[in-house]
């Protein structure tokens, strides 16, 4: 099985040319930005500065952000994005998962890298990358998801670490990040076969041997997504609903993305109304249950008969 670049001709029966072009362009942009993130020294930078940089680089290259950049530090595995002017600063002992997404016409590329400046975490970070590479190397149309999960699990455990059992990759669809299928990081009983007519994200999460190997919800919720367009009987809250729909569709967004239009205090008030009325969902941060450090790596891919087209190679 090989990882290779798909030509438009190869995929004509599966995706329309426009769909495929959008997936490939989004992937190229996301991969390029991820590699720039990997090469940058972020020590002393705030999480707000990282988010601003990454999101502006995606936009500068002609895509939109598929979701707010996740800057999840240490035991936070996922779903933390910067608050407006977030003062949290990266030190040389922090492990930061930078998970970013680009979209073209709603077709998404989702990718992540763990930045690390502390040698004690080098092997954990490399294990996440190795698990991802081993998964990509075995994927083609017809391969079962549980077998990919087994490969990821074995790679991680062979290196003396633990996979996060209740975090997984996912199928992708237009304007939909989690489109119903999960790409497991462990061997599972339930399974599906990878299909040529879908895009997927694979994202191994690695933690220490003495970790619980599960994540729990934390108290912070600073990533949101529209789940309904029902009226709230509050005109300004309804205007925010329309703004979210027109700018982000059903994709996740951050409070700081609303500040061109509303003052922060008012945006928070309106979001609270929309969350309470179940118009907007608020995502909790995900924290390793024993408080242990977590590393992550991620690619988006499209299976073919002979391999995986990794759109986010960069």
The residues annotated with a catalytic role in the active site are: 99, 110, 170, 178, 203, 298
- With CA atoms as reference, report the closest residue to 163 among 116, 124, 110: 124
CA distance 168 to 27: 19
Tokens of 270: 């309106």
- With CA atoms as reference, report the closest residue to 144 among 196, 206, 197, 195: 195
Angle between helix axes 47-60 and 17-39 (nearest 10 degrees) is 140
**H or E segment and range at residue 36:** helix 17-39
Tokens of 60: 């500068």
Tokens of 141: 């149309």
Residue 167's SS3 state is coil
Q: How wide is the angle at C-alpha 185 spanned by C-alphas 179 and 191, nearest 5°?
A: 60
């Amino acid at each position: 099985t090989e990882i290779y670049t798909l030509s438009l001709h190869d995929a004509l029966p599966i995706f329309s040319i426009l769909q495929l072009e959008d997936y490939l362009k989004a992937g190229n942009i996301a991969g390029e930005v991820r590699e720039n993130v990997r090469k940058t020294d972020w020590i002393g930078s705030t999480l707000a500065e990282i988010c601003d940089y990454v999101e502006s680089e995606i936009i500068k290259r002609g895509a939109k952000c598929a979701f707010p950049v996740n800057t999840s530090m240490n035991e936070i595995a996922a779903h933390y994005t910067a608050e407006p002017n977030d003062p949290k600063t990266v030190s040389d002992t922090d492990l930061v998962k930078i998970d970013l997404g680009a979209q073209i016409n709603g077709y998404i590329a989702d990718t992540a890298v763990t930045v690390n400046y502390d040698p004690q975490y080098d092997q954990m970070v490399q294990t996440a990358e190795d698990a991802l590479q081993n998964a990509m190397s075995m994927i083609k149309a017809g391969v079962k998801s549980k077998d990919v999960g087994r490969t990821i699990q074995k790679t991680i455990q062979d290196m003396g670490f633990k996979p996060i059992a209740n975090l997984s990759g996912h199928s992708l669809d237009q304007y939909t990040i989690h489109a119903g299928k999960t790409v497991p990081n462990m061997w599972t009983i339930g399974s599906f076969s990878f299909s040529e007519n879908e895009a997927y994200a694979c994202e191994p999460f690695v933690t220490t041997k003495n970790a619980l190997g599960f994540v729990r919800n934390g108290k912070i919720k600073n990533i949101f997504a529209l789940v309904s367009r029902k009226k709230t009987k509050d005109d300004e809250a309804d205007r925010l609903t329309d703004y979210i729909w027109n700018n982000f569709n059903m994709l996740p967004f951050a409070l700081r993305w609303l500040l061109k239009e509303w003052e922060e205090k008012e945006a928070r008030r309106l979001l609270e109304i929309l969350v309470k009325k179940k118009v907007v969902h608020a995502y909790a941060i995900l924290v390793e249950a024993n408080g242990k450090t977590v590393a992550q790596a991620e690619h988006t891919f499209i299976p073919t008969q002979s391999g995986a087209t990794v759109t986010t190679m960069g």
